[in-house]
Chain A
Amino acid sequence: MLSELTDDIILNILWKIEDDPRDWARLSCVSTKLNSLIHDFCWKNKTSLIIPSQLLVSSSQDHSLHKLPFCCPGLVHAGILFNTADSPEENQHQQSITSSSSTPSCSLVQQSNECSTYWSLYDDLYHDTLYADSESNHQQEQEESKENTIRTGVVDVPPESKKIKVNGSLSSHLATGKWTLSREQGSKLLARQFRDDCLYVCDWPGCVHLEEKRKYRVFRGVFMNFKKTRVWKTVNDCSNRRKIDLPCAFCSCNHTWDLHSAFCLRRGFGYHDDGEPVVRAFVCDNGHVSGAWTDVPMYT
């Protein structure tokens, strides 16, 4: 039937499936024709409404940019499941966990099975994961969002098999919260000396994940003209110590830079009692940023 329809007619149908961004993303896998229509018209139009124009103009309009407003990197790519301790065993642990390919869903299952002798955040996080849904932009959830209801998704972990179902909240998934990006949010993150760098981050509170230990406000963002920023110069000048095997959620970069330990983030956020930083952020070579805010500990 598709061959009988003109592009206008197909687009007319596609425009009517725009509420859930996942539909367009999946529809672009149907055929080359749908892919080019969705890329050239649907995504382009939609992102022009939510991404600031200076950023649009300076970026290549590929799927990374189209996906950024809507796709939460998940706990994986925000580095929350990444053990950043420096001991040799834990380095080995972090290597084997995160040297997975950029499709974390299957490979993480295998990796975590191999690492079952180590304690890791996986064990805590894979049980009773709550997925908070506040300030959602979804049409069908507009009534719910006013009451800030919480959607509960329990990850089942049969202890004997240690086969872990990696649900949406762990790897990248459709973000709750706002789908707009602003420079203002980005500037709240960066240390003063980087104030001239343009970092666009999704509007507050990002995609909220309620975990057993604490609440994570997972955010995503992108630097404009990243290779010309001071942040890039800083991370690039530092030794490879700061570069970690944590793949980017938005492109094919297999490693990212830890902005926290590169002192690019605003000072004073501090740490929790268990050593977790209050804020963390990771940037890839293309300037895509994934990270998470947590609540500042009340008693320090």
Chain B
Amino acid sequence: MAQEASSSTSSKTISLKTGDGEIFEIEASAAKQMKTVQRLIDDLGDDITIPLHNVFSKELPKIIEYYKKDITGEITKDFEAEFVKDLNDDEVKVLFLAANYLDANKLFEFLSQNIADRLESKSVEYVRKYFGVENDFTPEEESKLREERAWSFRGIKEDE
């Protein structure tokens, strides 16, 4: 009955509890891909339910879905395209922040690329709205910047 030091086998699952109190199961090998989770496992042991205060039940299943595919080596371009296809900008942002918090590098890189793709050719106002930033230039500064960059405002497709 003695526990071995590293008793995680590939079939072992870890329990994760979201910030809004829901519990999800994940394979131990998938949990390993999320460094934050792995650190918590190392600290708390793998028999305990790992609390993830900053991740919620809306996004965690999606993250688990991604890593389920990852551990079986099934992540393809098609899968990734499908994964984000129906996500709106806010949903991508939430997933991105969660991946950042979980230190889930592969998903984080993939979502960074997806955000970059969504920002390409977009207007200044769109990007401000997306990142939730205010225009903190003085009117003179902004006018000068836009004048210097007038060349870059030409030939750009309109925001959807």
Interface residues of A (CB under 8 A from B): 1-5, 9, 12-14, 16-17, 19-23, 25-35, 63-64, 67, 71-72, 102-103, 105, 167-168, 171-174, 249
Contact = CB atoms under 8 A, between A and B. Distances in A.
B132 A167 contact: no
A67 B100 contact: no
B137 to A, nearest CB: 6
Contacts of B130: 1
B81 interface: no
B155 A168 contact: yes
Most central of A23, A34, A72 by chain B CB within 10 Å: A23
Q: Which of B117, B121, B131 has the most CB of A within 10 A?
A: B131
Contacts of A32: 136-137
B116 interface: yes
B152 A174 contact: yes
Contact of A103 (B109, B123, B147): B147
B113 A21 contact: no
A30 B128 contact: yes
B71 interface: no
Interface centre among B147, B154, B155, B156 (most CB of A within 10 A): B154
Interface of B: 93, 97, 100, 109, 112-113, 115-117, 119-121, 123-124, 127-128, 130-137, 142, 145-156
B98 to A, nearest CB: 12
A13 B146 CA distance: 22
A4 B145 contact: no
Nearest to B109: A12
Contact of A1 (B117, B132, B155): B132
B100 A9 contact: yes
A168 B154 contact: yes
Minimum-distance CB pairs A-B, first 8: A25-B152, A16-B116, A22-B152, A172-B151, A2-B131, A168-B154, A25-B149, A71-B151
Contact of B149 (A4, A9, A26): A26
A133 B45 CA distance: 61
Given A1-B131, A29-B149, A13 B137 contact: no
A71 B147 CA distance: 13
A172 B137 CA distance: 24
B152 A26 contact: yes
Nearest to A21: B152
A67 B151 contact: yes
Given A16-B113, A168-B154, A31 B145 contact: no
A21 B121 CA distance: 10
A26 B124 contact: yes
A13 B156 contact: no
Given A22-B153, A27-B119, A31-B137, 9 more contacts: A1-B130, A22-B152, A25-B151, A25-B152, A29-B149, A31-B131, A35-B145, A168-B154, A174-B155
Nearest to B131: A2
A19 B147 CA distance: 22
B97 A1 contact: yes
Nearest to A104: B150
A148 to B, nearest CB: 20
A26 B131 contact: no
Contact of A23 (B121, B133, B151): B121
Nearest to B145: A29
Contacts of A23: 119-121, 152
Given A29-B145, A63-B149, A13 B119 contact: yes
A33 B133 contact: yes
